[in-house]
Amino acid sequence: CNNFCTYCIVPYVRGRERSRNAKNIIDEVRRVASEGYKEVMLLGQNVNSYGNDTDGEITFAQLLKEVCTVDGIERVRFMTSHPKDISDELIEVMASEDKICKQLHLPIQCGSDRILKLMNRKYTKEKYLQTVKKVRDAMPNIVLTTDIIVGFPGETEEDFLETMEVVKEVQYDSAFTFIYSKRTGTPAAVMENQIPDDVVKDRFDRLLAEVQEISRERCARFEGQTMDVLVEDVNDHDSSLVTGRLTNNLLVHFKGTEDLIGKIVDVHLDECRGFYYMGTMISK
Ligand code: SF4
C-alpha cells in the first residue's frame, strides 16, 4: 500500500503497491472458470489504484470489464476500495455490468475532518458523502459497508459525534467497528492525547448499538423478494439446510442438499433474522 494512514502498519510490512499483469489475471480467471467456479473476487489493499504503477495501461474499471467477459464467471466482486480513489468510470462500470455484485465496501474510518487529516486518509467527510451519493444514484439498491475506528488519538466527543452523524446519514448495510489500537512504528502510536480505555469503550458501545440497529433494518429490506443465491455449503447447525450468498453478500439458509453446492439457484427470502435470511428455493 502507498497510502500510509498513520494508524496502519501495512505499508511498512507489505511494501509498495504492485499491479499484477492484467493478462495473467484474466488467464487465471479463465482457468478457474473452466474448473467450474462461478464467482471471483479481485483483492487488493486498494484495488482502485490498480494500474497506477503501470502508466495507466489499464484501469481497475477496465480490468473489471475484462473479467466480466469470461464465460462461466457469473459474479465478480472486489475489495478494498479507498474512498479517495473511487472513479466515475468505476461507478459506471459497476452499474452497467450485470455480473458485478452490487456491493461496495468503502471504509470511512471516521466522520471528523480533523481526525481524517490526522489519520492521513486524504478525503473529507463531504467528499466521502459525495461519493456515496454518486454510488447510490447509479445503483439505488447497492449494499454499502464500511470500517470505522473509534478512539484515534485526539478524538474528542465532538469528533465522535460527527462519526455517529455520518453513520446515521449513510445508513450502512453493515459496518466493521474497531477500537483504535497502537501499532508500534506508526506515527499514530507516538501521538499525544491517546484516549483512555473507558472513554473509548463507551463510544464504541454507542457506535455498535447504532450500527447494529441500522443493519437490521437495512438487511430486512429484501424480505419477500426472490433473488439468486450461490450455494456455498451445507449448514453447520442443521444438515437439512444449505447456506448460500446473495449477490449483495448477505447469507441465506434454506432446505437443500449437498449437490447444490456451487450452483446458483433462485430463493425466496422468507424471513430476515437480523443479519441473514431464511428462504425457500424456487428453482434450480
Ligand atoms: Fe493502506 Fe488501508 Fe493501511 Fe491505509 S489502512 S495504509 S489504505 S492498507
The whole-number pLDDT of residue 56 equals 66
Q: Which of helix, strand or coil describes residue 114?
A: helix
> What number does the ligand 1 atom closest to the CA of 11 have?
6
pLDDT at 96 exceeding the cut of 90: yes
How many angstroms is it from 50 CA to the middle of ligand 1?
14
pLDDT at 203 exceeding the cut of 80: yes
pLDDT digits (tens, 9 = 90+) for 151-172: 999 999 999 999 999 999 999 9
pTM of the full structure: 0.92
How many angstroms is it from 23 CA to the middle of ligand 1?
26
How many angstroms is it from 160 CA to the middle of ligand 1?
21
Residue 137 sits at the vertex; the CA angle it makes with 131 and 143, to the nearest 5 degrees, is 75
* Ligand 1 binding residues, C-beta < 6 A: 1, 3-5, 8, 10-11, 45-46, 82
Q: Residue 225 is placed in which grid cell? A: 423478494
> What number does the ligand 1 atom closest to the CA of 1 have?
1
Q: Tell me, what DSSP letter sits at residue 45?
A: T
Q: For 95-118, what is the mean pLDDT?
A: 97
Find out whether 59 and 87 touch, Cβ atoms under 8 Å.
yes
Q: Which of 148, 149, 153 is CA-nearest to residue 174?
A: 148
pLDDT at 127 exceeding the cut of 90: yes
> What is d(CA 284, CA 282) in angstroms, rounded to the nearest whole number?
7
Q: Which residues pair with 179 in a beta bridge?
A: 150
Residue 30 sits at the vertex; the CA angle it makes with 104 and 263, to the nearest 5 degrees, is 65
Which ranges in the chain belong to alpha helices (H)? Answer: 10-14, 22-34, 60-68, 88-96, 113-119, 125-138, 157-170, 197-219
pLDDT digits (tens, 9 = 90+) for 181-194: 999 999 999 999 99
> What number does the ligand 1 atom closest to the CA of 4 have?
6
Q: Which amino acid is at 265?
A: V
Q: Which of helix, strand or coil describes residue 26?
A: helix
The whole-number pLDDT of residue 230 equals 96
Count other C-beta atoms under 10 Å from residue 253's C-beta. 20
Pocket test for ligand 1, best of 7, 45, 118, 152 (most atoms within 8 A of CB): 45
